[in-house]
Chains A and B, each alone.
Chain A
Amino acid sequence: MSGPASFALPTHSPARASRIEVRGPLAFARSHLFPTRTTGIATLILGAMVAVALWHILRWSIIDAVWYSPDGSAACRTAMGACWAVIAEKYRVILFGTYPYDQQWRGVAIVAVWLGWGVVSATNWLAVGTRLAGWTIVYVGSIVLLAGGVLGLEPIGTDLWGGLPLTFVIFGGTVAGGLPLAVLLAIGRRSQLPVVRLLCVATIEGVRGIPLLALLFFAALILPLFLPPELSVDKLIRAEIGMIVFFAAYAAEVVRGGLQAIPEGQDEAAQALGLGYWLRMRKIVLPQALAIVVPALFNDIIRAFKNTTFFSILGLFDVLGATKAALQDPEWVRYGTEGYLFVFLLYFLICSAMSRYGASIEQDNQSRLRRAV
């Protein structure tokens, strides 16, 4: 028995309709929300739950909310919804802490300049060097303005600094002080000298292994014991040292990743040209390594911003510490949830903006790499 001569169909197969891509909101909903019956039902149930939750949130936060309560918290006590009047009452304390009331225009100026320069820096209008120089001026200017004592400004001690200006100054100091230290630790970890390598590894791993809070307590409680009495350092600066070291230990590992990504040939070529160690690092290796790691560093920078809240545990009045203090008021103590939601939103906006910017740099980097290939 032999098989058929051909397995092909003896007739033409009917022409199939071309796949027409249906567009529009209905088609999108169909393919992304109701592709099959079971997922469709699941979507409906989930959608209903979300709608109910959103309705409750809307009613609590907007419809039944009290926005303004002129005589104490009386209007809030009978309300069913949120008491946003606590923000209207306490926003000066939340945003500027215990800074003297009539001098708080300085805080406003600092916050405005930081936000303004932040927006300018996020664009490509100015060269990177100009932007960084601008940040240096903004930072030094902020400290001078907060401290006063020059240009006829009333001097104000660091114990009275607070709120968003303090948060910004802590954050700026952490990044400005931490990045150079991180670079030094990273190149030290790859050094040829065993003693230097060992020291850097021990510092990085030791600091990364303990909580930031422990490091801040070390700086706040133990540092003064180890320094001679005539060299007493301000509490704010001591805590800042802890922040800088912690940030540097994490950032050092990121920078090390960048250093490892640079081909050996770059350094060898520079050696062949007779460049010394520091010159090679400064002109050849670091510029390339840092360019690679900027997006990854942004994660650490955002974390440094979030970590400024740890200062509230040391009894300093950053935004969170100031909010805690503001909500101690027995008149408003019952509306803590609203107060902290406001702080939550404040941090969310700033951190989201930074994380968006970090993602955009990463995209720029990738498209540049693709062009280069």
Chain B
Amino acid sequence: MKRSSVIPGAAPMVPLWRQPRVRALVWQVALVVALLAIAVWLVTNARQALDERGMTSGLGFLFNAAPFALGEAFFSFRPGSEYIDAIAVGLGNTVMLSLLSIVTATVMGALLGFARLSRNVLVAGLAGAYIQAFRNTPQLVQIVFWYSFFTLMPGPRQSWSILDLAFASNRGLMVPAPEDGGVFLAVVAMLVVGALLAFGISRLADRHRRRTGRRWKLQKVAEITAFLLPAVVTWLVAGAPSAWSVPELKGFNFVGGATLAPEFLAIYFGLSFYIAAFIAEIVRGGLVSVDAGQIEAANAIGLSRSDLYRKVMVPQALRVIIPPLAAQYVSLVKNSSLGVAVGYPDLFSISNTVLTYSGRTIEVLCIMALIYLALSLTIGAAANVLNRLVQIPER
């Protein structure tokens, strides 16, 4: 066989179709053309199908009057309002339900995660049993179970009484509520603000102590004041309303208090209890991941048990906990769409109603999907920011 005479220094002639760059370009152009062709084919089909059924398209329908009524939840909807209002009500209900469930699931999950690691076998065993039971069953079965549980409860006259303050019956859970709901919400919001202030003060005090070696004498007092002051001031400014409305059986139903409908309870319990089991496992994994040497060192320098958790274990565990925790939050928000199974008016079930009444299947489903996508991406972005804050800076 004859050797090809290659001139040293000159590039050997590789045929065009064997050059990686050319091949890559050809493949990608072919892929794009094929996808475009499929897209055009699909859209033509859809166009034809819509024309045959005499259906129109476009987003103008959003401002037409919607002829349906919706169940009561956080936000209510009057029949005759525009479709876009209905979707906004759904979004509001989904967000409120998700926030409430996220808080509940996080608190429960954190407690369960710590309990799972308890040296007390009874506590650890109970937590373990809960986690196994709620992790290994479908969320939808749990939601449907809770719904059937609450709707099959006895009527208001034979309701289960909890200290004569709250009543559980087939109408849902009646709980005492403050007469002035607006002030109550403002006070709760101010408590959150106070907690943030107190946290800020403790960070400042820590920094001061690290710089000078001295503690602030009044740190505890300042923190407690900062926590309570905004709420108390708000309450006093509003005229210090203290009346609570307690549900009371009158005739065939309860009056007074606030009603948590079976639909809400079912989806709320279903979302919180299921995700709590997953969060418990994440918290447990995070705590276990803290290096044993860190704990031994903390014990050796005589840190108290609360300081061991607060200053050593939790900050290190958070780095491991936050990314999977955010994934669970996304999963919770997405699965709030299961409200449709029990008739809770969340974004998904309202979109379902809207598409039935308006006939704009494609538009409504796309709007709904985009809103969920935006919610998921928001949580993801927030988690990324938080994650950057808790990372230990490497030198």
Q: Which of B130-138, B179-187, B205-213, B386-394 contacts A (4 or more CB under 8 A)?
A: B130-138
B290 → chain A, closest Cβ, in Å? 20
Please indicate the chain B residues that have their CB under 8 angstroms from the CB of A211 in the complex: 334-335, 337, 348, 372
B350 → chain A, closest Cβ, in Å? 13
Please indicate the chain A residues that have their CB under 8 angstroms from the CB of B368 in the complex: 214
- Residue B42 at the chain A interface, CB threshold 8 Å: yes
Cβ contact within 8 Å between B365 and A218: yes
Cβ contact within 8 Å between A344 and B145: yes
Cβ contact within 8 Å between A344 and B24: no
Cβ contact within 8 Å between B341 and A313: yes
- Residue A324 at the chain B interface, CB threshold 8 Å: yes
Please indicate the chain A residues that have their CB under 8 angstroms from the CB of B119 in the complex: 31-32, 35
Cβ contact within 8 Å between B142 and A39: no
Please indicate the chain A residues that have their CB under 8 angstroms from the CB of B340 in the complex: 213, 313
Q: Which of A127-135, A177-185, A345-353 contacts B (4 or more CB under 8 A)?
A: A345-353
Q: Which of B9-17, B120-128, B248-256 contacts A (4 or more CB under 8 A)?
A: B120-128
- Residue A372 at the chain B interface, CB threshold 8 Å: no
B287 → chain A, closest Cβ, in Å? 19
Cβ contact within 8 Å between B137 and A222: no
Known: A196-B31, A344-B145, A355-B136. A225 touches B362 (CB 8 A): yes
- Residue B37 at the chain A interface, CB threshold 8 Å: no
- Residue B376 at the chain A interface, CB threshold 8 Å: yes
Known: A210-B369, A340-B148, A347-B136. A47 touches B335 (CB 8 A): no
Cβ contact within 8 Å between B122 and A46: yes
Known: A33-B120, A33-B121, A352-B132. A226 touches B140 (CB 8 A): no
A positions within 8 Å CB-CB of B:
31-33, 35, 39, 42-43, 46-47, 50, 192-196, 199, 206, 208-214, 217-218, 221-222, 224-229, 302, 306-310, 312-313, 320, 324, 327, 334, 336-337, 339-341, 343-344, 347-348, 351-352, 355
Please indicate the chain A residues that have their CB under 8 angstroms from the CB of B149 in the complex: 336-337
Taking residues whose C-beta sits less than 8 angstroms from the other chain, chain B's interface range is: 35 or more
Can you list 22 residue pairs at the A/B interface with Cβ under 8 Å? Answer: A42-B120, A46-B123, A47-B122, A193-B24, A208-B330, A209-B330, A209-B377, A211-B372, A217-B365, A218-B365, A221-B361, A222-B362, A225-B49, A227-B42, A229-B49, A306-B138, A308-B138, A313-B140, A336-B149, A339-B148, A340-B148, A347-B141
A147 → chain B, closest Cβ, in Å? 26
Considering residues B35, B43, B140, which has the most beta carbons from chain A within 10 angstroms of its beta carbon? Answer: B140
Cβ contact within 8 Å between B24 and A192: yes
B positions within 8 Å CB-CB of A:
24, 27-28, 31-32, 35, 42-43, 45-46, 48-50, 119-123, 126, 132-133, 135-142, 144-145, 148-149, 151-152, 330, 334-335, 337-338, 340-341, 348, 352, 355, 361-362, 365, 368-369, 372-373, 376-377
Cβ contact within 8 Å between B141 and A309: yes
A82 → chain B, closest Cβ, in Å? 12
Please indicate the chain A residues that have their CB under 8 angstroms from the CB of B43 in the complex: 226
